[in-house]
Amino acid sequence: MNGAPGPGVATGAVRIFDTTLRDGEQAPGAGLTVAEKLEVARQLAKLKVDVIEAGFPAASEGDFEAVRQIALATKGVGIAALARCKDGDPQRAIDAIKVSDRPHLHLFIATSDIHLTHKLRTTREAALAEAVKWVKYAREKLGRDAEVEFSAEDASRTDHDYLLQVYEAVVEAGASTVNIPDTVGYAIPSEYAALTKLVVDRVGRDATISVHCHNDLGLATANTLAAVQAGARQVEVTINGLGERAGNASLEEVVMALRTRPGQFESHDIQVQTEQLTSASRLVSYLTGFAVQPNKAIVGANAFAHESGIHQDGVLKNPLTYEIMTPQSVGLVGSSLTIGKLSGRRGLQAKFAELGHDLSGEALDALYREAIALADVKKELTDADLLALVDKRAATGSAATIELLDWSVASSRGGGSSGRVEIRVNGVEASAESTGNGPVDALYEAIDKAVAPTLGWNPILAEYEIRAVSEGEDAQGQVTTKCRRSNDLDAEGKPLPNAPMVTGQGLSTNIIDASLVAYVSAANKLAALESGAASAPTKGSREAMQ
């Protein structure tokens, strides 16, 4: 072969390739700002994944910037960027990852006849030639030590002989990893394992074999594990199984299966710090606004809850009766210290450490101020209250175009509501009044009126959700909003194709305040899209995949 095989994977090891920030972020409404992506990347580095796929630089300015900044900010972890086998894409991706100490370029082209005929409108021969051309280009540009990965999109529905021919040719051209995407989640485990084995037998000596499974039939984790048994040495996964449609294989499920059942896998060594899984899951759920279902394996709220008497009795006698892994091993920790308004900074630091967050300096100071202010309203802060403050802080990196200064509202049963807001837009103060069929509706309308003259658009609410962070009458309310821009709607008020939708969060013991903060935070993200400080997954990435 011409190209060197790249760093590869140690004997007995499986490389964990996290694509939460690329494939995960393609889930509509999961768009993150550059600051939020950096926060997730930091958590992934703590988790010790081997590769972070940070984005698709050719899709948007925001994606390019996010990948570049993550590549600058992280050391000792592979930073991957996706690129089509198409003029401009590979170079844009290379420009974004070249500052990384472990650049990993991920090239892809579709190979199934369905995609070739109907999407790319090209032939098998032409697609193969493009794949080889761009793999050679990447190897030349990146040198012998970088990872050059090639994905045959829709591999599981591709003619096997042709697929193997493509893999052989790209490895000959310098690809160090070849990936077998089950793009539409069509495969079943025995079939996918057999396909993986064919690829391992054909090119497994010269390249790392990677697998990438979608969950349309609920089989993504099963397919991934079956492929590892068949010789795959890289798994492409996302936190919480986030991703388009039914999502991707879930990182926490694959990782905990390898840890819990090592005897089932010839290669099973992973360096993942599983105690960071719960924090990673919380962070991704909070920032994307995608709730984790309570019965989700590993990170769902009920994953370690034993409700029935028989189970509780068994677990009390010996946890092994009903627990195949400990809650501690995935970072689900209770804590003994209590926090109230007389607690000190040190006490709070110790409490956060018990909850799995090592905080110091400015981050600790800021959380201390927030915790003490909250303790003035609530007698005692629960673990959930404190973890919610940590989540909230993770979302505060982006510059604010709109600041909420004050609000007031009058509302009565059956009498409608009228409200007034005072805000600052791009540094200029503005106020507006409006009526609505409830207090939140009236205040959202008032915000719309106040921002539209300066921005040329106002946020349009697509989804609204409120939940209590903990139990009790004085619980904090956490509001999640999903919004689009008004100028991304057609004359009938329907979203234009690929109109971006973003998530905003608000947290307060006053649910109206939480609602306004969530709305303004979504509006700020929409404003950031215009300035390139956020990526627009529904506008950029998916469209660019065509």
Give me the least distance between CB of 181 and ligand KIV, in Å please: 3
What's 118's DSSP letter?
Answer: I
Give me the least distance between CB of 181 and Zn ion, in Å please: 6
Question: Quick check: 25 binds Zn ion (CB under 5 A)?
Answer: no
Question: Quick check: 153 binds Zn ion (CB under 5 A)?
Answer: no
Question: Quick check: 23 binds Zn ion (CB under 5 A)?
Answer: yes
**21 and 55 in contact (C-beta within 8 Å)?**
yes
**79 and 54 in contact (C-beta within 8 Å)?**
yes
Question: Quick check: 36 binds Zn ion (CB under 5 A)?
Answer: no
* C-beta of 183 vs 476, nearer to ligand KIV: 183
Task: Pick one of ligand KIV, Zn ion, none as the site partner of residue 108 (Cβ within 5 to 8 A by kind).
Answer: ligand KIV
Q: Which residue has the tokens 């690129």?
A: 83
Question: Quick check: 50 binds Zn ion (CB under 5 A)?
Answer: no
* C-beta of 210 vs 505, nearer to Zn ion: 210
Give me the least distance between CB of 248 and ligand KIV, in Å please: 8
Phi, psi for 15 (deg, rounded to 5): -85, 130
Give me the least distance between CB of 119 and Zn ion, in Å please: 15
Q: Which residue has the tokens 């057609």?
A: 490
Task: Pick one of ligand KIV, Zn ion, none as the site partner of residue 401 (Cβ within 5 to 8 A by kind).
Answer: none
Shortest Cβ contact with Zn ion: which residue?
Answer: 23
**157 and 187 in contact (C-beta within 8 Å)?**
no
Give me the least distance between CB of 8 and Zn ion, in Å please: 23
Residue 397, Cβ density class (10 Å: 0-12 exposed, 13-18 middle, ≥19 buried): middle
Give me the least distance between CB of 244 and ligand KIV, in Å please: 8
In this structure, the strands spanning 78-84 and 103-110 are: parallel
Question: Quick check: 206 binds Zn ion (CB under 5 A)?
Answer: no
Question: Quick check: 182 binds Zn ion (CB under 5 A)?
Answer: no
Distance of CA 318 to the CA centre of its chain: 36
Q: How many CB atoms lie within 10 A of CB 143?
A: 11
| Cα–Cα dist 83/81, whole Å | 7
CA angle 258, 259, 260 (to 5 degrees): 95
Q: Give the number of residues in contact with Zn ion, rule: CB under 5 A.
A: 1
* C-beta of 151 vs 538, nearer to ligand KIV: 151
Element (H, E) at 10: none
* C-beta of 23 vs 39, nearer to Zn ion: 23
- Site mask for Zn ion (CB under 5 A), range 230-249, x = bound: --------------------
Bridge partner residues of 103 (DSSP): 79
| Cα–Cα dist 395/392, whole Å | 5
* C-beta of 224 vs 401, nearer to Zn ion: 224
Give me the least distance between CB of 202 and ligand KIV, in Å please: 19
Q: Which of residues 282-321 bind Zn ion (CB under 5 A)?
A: none
Helices (H), 301-341: 309-317
* C-beta of 220 vs 512, nearer to Zn ion: 220
Which chain residues interact with ligand KIV by CB under 6 A?
Answer: 23, 82, 108, 151, 153, 179, 181, 183, 212, 214
**498 and 487 in contact (C-beta within 8 Å)?**
no
CA nearest 447: which of 458, 439, 437? Answer: 458
Residues near Zn ion, by CB under 5 A: 23
